[in-house]
Amino acid sequence: MTDAIKIDVWSDIACPWCFIGKRNLENGLAATADDDDAPVVEIEYHSFELSPDTPVDFVGGEVDYLSQHKGISPAQAREMLDRVTGVAAEAGLAYRFDILQHTNTVKAHELLHFAKEKGRQLELSERLMSAYFLEGKHVGRDDDLVDLAAEVGLDADEARGALASTRFRDAVRADQAQAQAYGITGVPFFVIDGKYGVSGAQPVEAFTQIARQVWSERRAEAAESAPA
């Protein structure tokens, strides 16, 4: 039996292109489901903080943040947000930058590592991004994060303890160190089977194609190594 294709994804909860890339990846893989020999895929998310200096309770909206931290005018910021909102809509995501609460994401990343330990990382990644981009919920404070963790079936007390202890902070830093070693400077970034790097929120078809290609390579390698 051929082992699953491993897809490692570096992303940030507060990265609008990361949610788009996540959805395109999922839809791209779904398009292979009816193949006669459908690829088997395992996905793991890794931490990447785009703005580690952001306060937990940022005062202002997303336009204010972009203007203050990216050195662009409010008009340019609105234009950027309109563009990404349009791309998100094409992926089936209704972004709400008007209610988004900009925040520091290190604790969200710690919680994702806790969720990975409990087998709920994929569910929590989806819940955090949805809460942030679609619902205007705060994803930087312990109470809010614990509530979101509970919604995907994680124990609230255990989640709160994981955040209070900061015991997953080293795992977050290790992910970031690995990203640096790979030369990753922006997210989303996808590492396919440890040998192919894919940068940015690629279209659905690109993910479908690479999944089929890598699966085919895997099958060929397995056939070559099989005993006669």
Q: What is the CATH number for 133? A: 3.40.30.10
The per-residue pLDDT for range 66-121, each reduced to its tens digit, is: 998 888 999 999 999 999 999 999 999 999 999 999 999 999 999 999 999 999 99
Q: What order of strands is seen across the sheet that includes strand 196-199? A: 41-47, 5-11, 189-192, 196-199
Q: Supply the DSSP string of 152-206, one letter for each residue.
A: TT--HHHHHHHHHHTTTHHHHHHHHHHHHHHT--SS-EEEETTTEEEES---HHH
Q: How many residues does the chain have?
A: 228
| Per-residue confidence band for 219, with pLDDT thresholds at 50, 70 and 90 | confident
Contact 62, 97 (CB under 8 A): yes
Q: Rounded distance, CA 94 to CA 209, Å?
A: 26
| Per-residue confidence band for 224, with pLDDT thresholds at 50, 70 and 90 | confident
Closest CA to 147 of 134, 163, 171: 163
Provide the residue range defining the domain that includes 36.
5-225
How many domains, in total, are found in the chain?
A: 1
CA angle 193, 10, 52 (to 5 degrees): 160
How many CA atoms does the CB half-sphere of 36 hold within 13 Å?
A: 1
CA distances from 44 to 36, 96, 198 (A): 25, 26, 15
Note the pLDDT of residue 147. Answer: 98
The per-residue pLDDT for range 153-168, each reduced to its tens digit, is: 999 999 999 999 999 9
